[in-house]
Amino acid sequence: MAYFNHPLLTSGVVAALIIVSASILYSKYKKWKTPVHGIPLVPGAHWLLGSVNFFLSSHDGTIKSLKTLGEVFCIFVPLGPVGVVGTTTEFIDAFKDRMLVTMSRTTQLTFSQFFKNGLIALEGEQWKKHVRVLGPMMSVSSLKQAVSSMVRAVDGLTLKWKTEVDPDKPLNVEGDIKNLALSIICDFLIGRDLSSAGGSCAHELTQHCEVLLTAVDKEVYENPLYKMIFGDRPPVRRARKYLWGLMQEVMSECREHPEKAERHAVGRIMAAVKAEAVTFTDQELLDEIVMMLFGGSDTTAVSLMWAFKALSAAPHVQSKLRSEIKEVLGPSPPTYDDVTQHMPYLDICFKEIMRVARTAPGCGRTLLTDYQLKGDTKAIVPKGATMMLGISGIHMNPRYWVDPELFWPERWEEGVGKGQGAMGLPITPAAWAPFGAGHRGCFGQRMATVEMKVLLVQLLRSFEFSPSGDPELDNWDMVERITTRPKNPYFKLRPLG
């Protein structure tokens, strides 16, 4: 190796390394400055950390970028694909094209750590198989049956609030609402009623579910590398072990008593596996149940807290809802048909709540081919890039909504919603996408819709919600995790009747 001692050769090697390094840094710098030609980059992007400021505040970042950069803008991910965020219906339409997009690779990589066999992490034939097997869960008959457990759970919370809450003092509803949503989804998935005082495993199951849900929320958002390197933390391993044992118990019950299988999702999945004659392992079933446990409790709880934010500042909307509830239901509990077919004002209130709610600021898809944007830029987004639907942005885009920041359910009424937006274009429901869009949109959106409506009916017929009276608590400040939740979910509750 003596030839390396030659000064000219050594200098040449060093020079070559410098040139190569400079070329890499320059190409990275160019990518940082102009990820996609013709599309502006969000300000504050760092050549090493990327658009970290945007990711830490994606709701506000989307709204600010919509106002300052326009309806389409880029974010920079140093080690990932190009990211293009859109706040127009063009992106919703693109998400519906199966030949154009698929689930974001980044999303799949992130969530596969927790739900390796869950829908969100799957592609191709595996994903299609899971959709066929899970489909019966969201059937009309399944949801009709679930409504009774929803009513039972919320009635338990109503009784608690009526006996414990001081109507003159603001209440932080977060803990109670999270427990309510968790109770409903557990009963739906595995037939375990956490709201029942007689539930033998209710307390233990609640604790383990909370451990797992907190781990998913914190580690995905705050420290995704920890799990990749070290695996599950000890409390999470214990929670998984407990849930695995409980799942085995539920599956055994279904095999021994087939007549009981129809009362929860696990039984329906097992029946669908048999009917489809497909291979579906116990681990696949467990991952799907854990994924839906997270998705079906956290998002509903957060959306309900945003609903209270909107409704507490709109007593006239609460009054109109109660009038419809009284007219349609009288003293009876709601049924599936009631909340899906016979309560039009409840329906438009739900749509408007989900428009102003900040539960999911956005979602992403990976492009399967180059895509040329419409509009003035005609920019070409390259194959492999991440197209991101800025849900917060499209719901606040004045192109589609008159006074977009105003909570106004009547904008959805026939004739009113046909008005003109600030840019002179028709307002259209096509600009509403709280559950994402396309074939990889939220799998549980039908249940989420029914559940939100049932809970709103039962809570509004029992309480009047009003702001806390403290400006520090009555603002719309938020905490951003996987879902974006109110920072201060405090309200005054006055019992009715």
Give the pLDDT score at 160.
94
Helix (H/G/I), strand (E/B), else coil: 470 = coil
With a cut of 70, say whether residue 196 has pLDDT above it. Answer: no
Q: What is the Cα–Cα distance from 205 to 226, expressed in whole angstroms?
A: 25
In 10 A of CB 269, how many CB atoms? 25
φ, ψ of residue 382 to 5 degrees: the values are: -75, 155
CA distance 425 to 402: 10
425 band by pLDDT with thresholds 50, 70 and 90: very low
Q: Does residue 346 or residue 272 have the better pLDDT?
A: 346
Q: Which residue has the tokens 């072990």?
A: 241
Q: Which residues pair with 289 in a beta bridge?
A: none
| Closest to 463 measured CA to CA, from 307, 347, 357 | 307
Residues 396-404 have a mean pLDDT of 89
Q: What is the pLDDT of residue 4?
A: 45
Q: Give the residue from 442, 445, 458, 459 showing the smallest Cα distance to 143.
A: 445
Matching residue, tokens 């009747």:
497
* Residue with the larger pLDDT of the pair 433 and 216: 433
* Calpha distance 316→334 (Å, rounded): 22
Q: Between residues 12 and 181, which one has the greater pLDDT? A: 181
What's the CA gap between 469 and 399, in Å, rounded? 34
> At 381, which helix (H) or strand (E)?
strand 380-381
Cβ–Cβ under 8 Å, residues 31 and 51: no
pLDDT at 415: 55
CA nearest to 455, candidates 179, 210, 131? 179
State the average pLDDT over residues 349-368.
94
The tokens describing 298, both together, are 């956290």
Q: Of 94-98, 199-203, 333-337, which range is least confident?
A: 199-203
Taking 70 as the threshold, does the pLDDT of residue 224 lie above it? no
**Predicted model pTM:** 0.89
The beta-carbon contacts of 42-48 under 8 Å, at least 24 apart in sequence, are: 42/69, 42/73, 42/74, 42/75, 42/76, 45/75, 45/76, 47/78, 48/78
Which of these, 133, 24, 66, lies nearest to 392 by C-alpha position? 66
Find out whether 442 is annotated in a ligand binding site. Answer: yes
Question: Is 158 a residue whose pLDDT tops 90?
Answer: yes
Q: Are strands 371-372 and 380-381 parallel, antiparallel or unpaired?
A: antiparallel
488 or 76, which is more confident? 488
User: Using the 8-state DSSP alphabet, how is residue 426 labeled?
Assistant: B
229: number of Cβ within 10 Å: 7
pLDDT value at position 3? 46
Whole-angstrom distance, CA of residue 96 vs CA of residue 129: 20
Q: At what angle do helices 445-460 and 282-312 cross, to 10 degrees?
A: 40
Q: What is the DSSP letter of 41?
A: B
Report the pLDDT value the prediction gives residue 244, as an integer from 0 to 100.
Answer: 84
CA–CA distance, 333 with 325 (Å, rounded to integer): 10
Q: What is the number of alpha carbons within 13 Å of residue 75 lying toward its C-beta?
A: 27
